[in-house]
């Protein structure tokens, strides 16, 4: 059975090769050595085990793409921006929540009878604060709710069975008693989850936060962590797992502005099913391609079981 490890990096586009783009210099050196490609506009890699291309996040709707509609489109396979008629920032509204509840990629996978999980850990007070209406749920949280899956918590983090959104837990350490991890260790934890689920979803939104701040130093630091996380994950993955990376819109690739961009976002795949994603041109085509890969793999496994 083939598995997909979907890594969602918020605000991570493919920008020009200039000094405003930390993905150009210093870039992602470890990943670049593995692929021979920089994560910049125009990069294109396609072979049996690796894929890198830019795909559209604007989805035919005027304006700059935003998080709520972009993430919903990416994680449901439905053009949420066209559904609303505009790009919606931040958290999903009732119309988008309805789409997520019916079509989230986690729900589609579990409805197939396969195991899916969200790798991110939640703090022990998250749902208490949410109940007091301190904040709204993100698209990814609604995806977990739609599939009726358990939420990972800080105990899972301590056991190496979850990854925090900032990779190393640095934002969590002042709040609770927990040890930090290196990006390499986090990558190994993520790879282990990928081995035991048909679909594993992980979200890092630090890239979008830092893109808004326009801090070059912070951008270089988070990209170094992401680079190590991804390479460690690839090195630790089971041979039947394909890593798939995508985003909802651009941001961190252009530090000359604190706004989102209309740049294409990367579709990066590494593993045995990389070529199955070559046809994708837009972010709303990612989920249908994932479902197709898992359906095909599940059918082959059932045929093999019958023959045995």
SS3 per-residue string spanning 247-267: CCCECCCCCCCCCCECCCEEE
pLDDT score of 306 more than 70: no
133-155 in b/e burial notation, b at 16+ Cβ within 10 A? eeeebbbbbbbbbbbebebbebe
Rounded Cα distance between 23 and 13, Å, is 9
Structural contact between residues 128 and 208, judged by C-beta atoms closer than 8 angstroms: no
Q: Report percent pLDDT > 70 for the chain.
A: 96
Among 53, 4, 8, residue whose Cα is nearest residue 229: 8
At 129 the pLDDT is 81
Structure confidence at residue 113 as a pLDDT band (50, 70, 90): very high
Residue written as token pair 């350490």: 173
At 66 the pLDDT is 98
DSSP helix/strand/coil, 73: helix
At 300 the pLDDT is 63
DSSP helix/strand/coil, 208: helix
At 134 the pLDDT is 64
Rounded Cα distance between 29 and 288, Å, is 31
153 bridge partner residues: 122
Rounded Cα distance between 109 and 295, Å, is 9
Mean pLDDT of 291-302: 84
Cβ within 8 Å of residue 128, ≥6 positions away: none
* Residue 243 token pair: 């890593």
Between β-strands 3-9 and 241-246, what pairing exists: parallel, antiparallel or unpaired?
A: parallel
At 298 the pLDDT is 82
12-70 per-position pLDDT tens digit:
999 999 999 999 999 999 999 999 999 999 999 999 999 999 999 999 999 999 999 99
Q: Which CATH number do you get for residue 44?
A: 3.40.720.10
* Residue 204 token pair: 């890092």
At 197 the pLDDT is 98
Structure confidence at residue 302 as a pLDDT band (50, 70, 90): low
Rounded Cα distance between 70 and 98, Å, is 15
DSSP helix/strand/coil, 21: coil
Cβ within 8 Å of residue 80, ≥6 positions away: 68, 69, 70, 72, 73, 88, 96, 99, 284
At 299 the pLDDT is 76
Mean pLDDT of 211-223: 98
243-280 per-position pLDDT tens digit:
999 999 999 999 999 999 999 999 999 999 999 999 99
At 87 the pLDDT is 98
Structure confidence at residue 301 as a pLDDT band (50, 70, 90): low
At 307 the pLDDT is 56
Asked if the bond preceding 26 is cis, omega within 30° of 0, the reply is yes
What integer best gives the mean pLDDT of the chain?
95
Rounded Cα distance between 273 and 243, Å, is 9
Residue written as token pair 């949420």: 80
Among 11, 51, 1, residue whose Cα is nearest residue 207: 11
* Residue 257 token pair: 């502005």
Q: Domain total for the chain?
A: 1
User: 298 burial class (0-12, 13-18, 19+ CB within 10 angstroms)?
Assistant: middle
pTM, full prediction: 0.96
Rounded Cα distance between 158 and 125, Å, is 17
CA dihedral sign, ordered 286, 290, 296, 299: negative
Rounded Cα distance between 123 and 30, Å, is 31
Range of the domain at 146: 3-307
Structure confidence at residue 127 as a pLDDT band (50, 70, 90): confident
């Amino acid at each position: 059975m083939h598995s997909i490890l979907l890594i969602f990096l918020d605000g991570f586009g493919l920008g020009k090769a200039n000094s405003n783009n930390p993905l150009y210099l210093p870039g992602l050196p470890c990943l670049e050595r593995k692929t021979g490609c920089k994560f910049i506009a125009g990069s294109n890699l396609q072979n049996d085990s690796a894929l890198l291309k830019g795909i559209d996040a604007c989805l035919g709707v005027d304006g700059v793409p935003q998080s709520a509609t972009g993430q919903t489109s990416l994680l449901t396979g439905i053009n949420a921006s066209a559904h609303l008629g505009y790009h919606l920032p931040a958290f999903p509204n009732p119309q988008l929540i309805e789409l997520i509840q019916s079509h989230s990629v986690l729900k589609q996978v579990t409805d197939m009878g396969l195991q899916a999980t969200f790798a991110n850990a939640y703090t022990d007070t998250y749902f208490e604060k949410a109940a007091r209406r301190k904040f709204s749920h993100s698209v990814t949280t609604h995806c977990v709710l739609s599939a009726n899956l358990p939420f990972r918590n800080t105990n899972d983090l301590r056991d190496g069975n979850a990854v925090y959104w900032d990779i190393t837990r640095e934002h969590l350490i002042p709040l609770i008693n927990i040890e930090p991890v290196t990006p390499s260790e986090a990558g190994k934890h993520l790879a282990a989850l990928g081995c035991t689920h048909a679909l594993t979803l992980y979200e890092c939104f630090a890239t979008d936060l830092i893109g808004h701040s326009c801090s070059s130093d912070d951008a270089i630091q988070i990209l170094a962590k992401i680079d190590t996380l991804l390479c460690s994950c690839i090195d630790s993955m089971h041979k039947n797992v394909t890593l798939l990376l995508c985003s909802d819109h651009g941001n961190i690739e252009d530090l000359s502005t604190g706004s989102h961009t209309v740049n294409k976002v990367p579709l990066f795949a590494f593993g045995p099913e990389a070529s199955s994603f070559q046809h994708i041109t837009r972010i709303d085509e990612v989920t249908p391609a994932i479902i197709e890969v898992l359906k095909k793999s599940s059918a082959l496994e059932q045929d093999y079981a019958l023959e045995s």
